[in-house]
Amino acid sequence: MPTSSEHQSPNESLLPTCTAFEGTRRIASGTLPVVALKVKQSLDRGQHAPLLIFEDETGKLIEVDFRGSPEDVAQRVTAAQPAVIPPGAPAAGAVEVPRKPGRPRLGVVAREVTLLPRHWEWLNRQPGGASVAMRKLVEEARRVNALKDRVRSAQEVAYRFMSAMAGNEPGFEEALRSLFAGDQARFDSHVEGWPIDVRDHARKLSAGAFPPGS
């Protein structure tokens, strides 16, 4: 299957990836600047099948302004890309807490939190105060619910893609029910007859919805 093969710089590898379809055929995968140029080439050849670009992480459609030359498209898309922040670098707007001996650097973002008085009273009684207690509660909730969060996220991503690309395919409703029921065998069975690239991408996006042992 045709995919983009351009080499990516270290910064480009940190950008979100996407996948483009021409009708039901996958024509490119990679970062948006690369994929957008492949779609632009298809448009300039006068392709009549719908050309859609999906963000891999969310399953959402990406809108691109394809007016002008390929250079114009590349410039607009590149300018619209989020700034790449290397791993470990503080996020924009982060407030650094004064560093204490033996403690790693910690980036903290200040935002408003609304709680009832009894909640603040309880938090303020905890070791380290309200901020430390809230961070511990959030981290514990993330740990406990990590699997459920991954499953829900994968379901939502696959649902968005399938709704856009396979709504008229046989077994669509049954595939959705199987997706949200966590039944991978039935899901695979219902999508088996779909166009190959649509089927394979749906299976790829939905993989996290069917964790081992579920």
pLDDT digits (tens, 9 = 90+) for 54-97: 999 999 999 999 999 999 999 998 888 765 545 555 544 444 44
Say whether both 118 and 162 belong to one domain. no
- Give the side-chain half-sphere CA count within 13 A for 192: 7
- pLDDT above 90 covers a percentage of the chain that reads 53
CA distance 20 to 54: 6
Residue 140 belongs to a domain: yes
Q: Classify each residue of 40-50 as buried b or exposed e, where b means 16 or more C-beta atoms within 10 Å of its C-beta.
A: bebeeeeeeee
Task: Domain of residue 31: give its range.
Answer: 12-80
Residue 4 belongs to a domain: no
Say whether both 138 and 152 belong to one domain. no
Q: How many domains does the structure of the chain reveal?
A: 3
Q: What is the pLDDT of residue 93?
A: 46
Residue 55 belongs to a domain: yes
Residue 38 belongs to a domain: yes
Q: Which residue has the higher pLDDT, 7 or 157?
A: 157
